[in-house]
Amino acid sequence: MDAKVAVNDAGEPIVQVARDGALVLVTLNRPERRNALDQAMVDALHGVLDALQGDETVGAMVLAGAGEKAFAAGADIAQLRDRRRREALLSINSRLFQRVEEAAFPVIAAIRGFCLGGGCELALACDLRIAGDTAKFGQPEVSLGIVPGAGATYRLPRLVGAGKARELVFTGRIVDAAEALRIGLVNQVVPDAEVHAAARKLADDVVKQDRLAVRLAKMLFRLDGSFRPGAGYLGEALAQAVLFESEEKVRRMTEFLDRSKTKK
């Protein structure tokens, strides 16, 4: 094993990566610590994103946590306790989650068990979220004397609305999977044993679409709320102009028309 690769208590890489065609499967692998996000794991995830950056063969990524207890139970509290003002200003988790959000390809979180604090903020940075039926979500930072510092105050309101986001942050309340689905925090809830399969199926549905179209659609979603309304109109027009010149668009639409003819 490469000595530079950070390992967990079992001597395994703390972030595991597997590739299946256009799909990348990434697993947070500190089950003995409920996949808490320490500095080594943050660095390892940056390494994964560095390796994928510019790789146009990637169609989607599934991000999961090892074991049954947690997707990620938050930041490593032992490290967090010792961080001072300087570390806060470095935005250690924020910079990583921003990269996840800005990845050219869709990222799908497969969530089992606890998804709290920084772990929940990591899930919020993903494009889609599949939860097991016993998953738990929350931003309990105020109970530790801090505030969410890696995106919850601006990503959570986009999903659940400003009022509900403030309630969850101000109280630190933990919500179950059923409530998470009801308020729009997750896209689907499935039995725990089916989480990875459901996330994989969703990723496969994404991967089989035109890759350029999906990537441009993701760019357009990132414009939401960033500029005046006219910017979205212009962005869609520009993206559509690029896609209208695509040979893949012509191929797919031709196949659609051919299928339509055979149904008549």
Q: Tell me which residues are annotated as active site.
A: 121, 141
CB atoms < 10 A from the CB of 182, how many? 13
Secondary structure in 3-state letters for the chain: CCCCCCECCCCCECEEEEEECCEEEEEECCHHHCCCECHHHHHHHHHHHHHHCCCCCCCEEEEEECCCCEEECCECHHHHHHCCHHHHHHCHHHHHHHHHHHCCCCEEEEECCEEECHHHHHHHHCCEEEEECCCEEECCHHHHCCCCCCCHHHHHHHHHCHHHHHHHHHHCCCEEHHHHHHCCCCCEEECHHHHHHHHHHHHHHHHCCCHHHHHHHHHHHHCCCCCCHHHHHHHHHHHHHHHHCCHHHHHHHHHHHHHHHHHC
Q: Which CA distances in Å does 52 have to 6, 202, 213?
A: 19, 20, 19
Q: d(Cα 216, Cα 239) in Å, to the nearest integer?
A: 6
Amino acid at 230: G
